[in-house]
Structure 1
């Protein structure tokens, strides 16, 4: 016995009912459930669709689809940060490496000024505030799009919201663990610490530039690479 289109649509509703909000994850689960239900019917052809579906669902354990969603989230987040690293690496090749070196040297020399610590803090705050603003703006934009299309894609959500939010947290942790907590200690740092702090602030700016400008501009291209069916949605 084969599943009908009505059965497939019922499976999509079933995944949504069990808190799977992303269309791409729904599609993977529906495909898995459909194949499993047909195998169950081979063994027990008299079983109803609902009973076969529930039997298949029980194989996911007490947490249902939650583990699948979490695994997919981890996979897509790793993909997002690999893309960020790919674009950052371009800034360490000619001709962009010249600008990167100038940025590094500029921040290294800046540390000799009395108010350098405050300027560093200002850069961190500006980048993080921009990321928070972008998250809010993108959240509203995604909601409008989801309401219009009825589809929400996990990687699109990571590009627009989750990835940027994770980036902001990484920057906060980097500042907290790697920088002195006052201006006096900042000025007394040795050459190695000064070079390290200049490198961190340079990477921060590149990180912010890639996550806030480069990736959003290439979002459609990246999404179509991830989901061939995305352009038809």
Structure 2
């Protein structure tokens, strides 16, 4: 026996009631539940839809759908960082590699200045602040879009919110761990440490540009590649 459209809608509602917010994850779970319910009906044709649904749900264990949601979150976050690396690699090809080496050389020479530490700290701070501003702005836009579509997409949230926030945290710890925290120690760094710090700040600037400029511009394309149904649902 096949599920009716009303029963499919009931499964979507059921996933939302069990704290699954994102439409793409809901759809995966609904497909799984629907197939399992049909199989349960083959074995027990007399039980009701609700009984079969609950029987299927129990197979997810004590935490219900949470394990599936967390697994999907890790998968989408991993995908996001792969996208970052994909666009970042373009900076190590002609003609952008010329600009990359220019940044590297400039950041190396800045370390010879008396106020070099403050220049480094300012650049780092600007990138992090911009990422946080974009994060707040994206959250505001996401709320507005949800009011219109009533749908959330996990990869979209990762691109616009989680991913930017995670990259900001990564760079915070990289900067705090690898670089001196005062002007005197900064000027006293050896050549190897200076090269390393210049590379670190160059990477920060490139990744900041990728997360703040390139990926937001490519967001719709990336979402349509990830979810074939995204464009159709978005325009409903």
TM range (shorter): over 0.9
- 2:131 corresponds to: 131
Q: Aligned partners of 1:124 and 1:58: how far apart in 2?
A: 49
Consecutive unaligned residues of structure 1, counting only runs of 5 or more, are none
For structure 2, which runs of at least 5 residues remain unmatched after alignment? none
The alpha carbon displacement at 1:167 in A equals 0.6
Q: Name the residue aligned to 1:183.
A: 183
State the Cα distance separating 1:124 from its structure 2 match. 1.0
Q: Displacement, 1:209?
A: 0.2
Deviation at 1:181, TM superposition (A): 1.6
CA distance in 2, matches of 1:125, 1:109: 20
The separation in 1 between residues aligned to 2:124 and 2:88, in whole angstroms, is: 18
Distance 1:228 1:219 in 2: 14
Counterpart residue number, 1:38? 38
Counterparts of 1:117 and 1:195, CA distance in 2: 14
Moved >6 Å (runs of 4+): none
Instruction: Give how far 1:188 is off.
Output: 0.5
Deviations 1:100-136 (A, max 9, x none): 0000000000000011011111111111110110011
- 1:121 corresponds to: 121
Q: RMSD over aligned Cα, in angstroms?
A: 0.5
* Alignment of 1:8 onto 2:8: yes
2:226 aligned with 1:202: no
Match of 2:75 in 1: 75
What pairs up with 1:1-233 in 2 under 5 angstroms?
A: 1-233=1-233
What SS is found at the alignment partner of 1:218?
helix
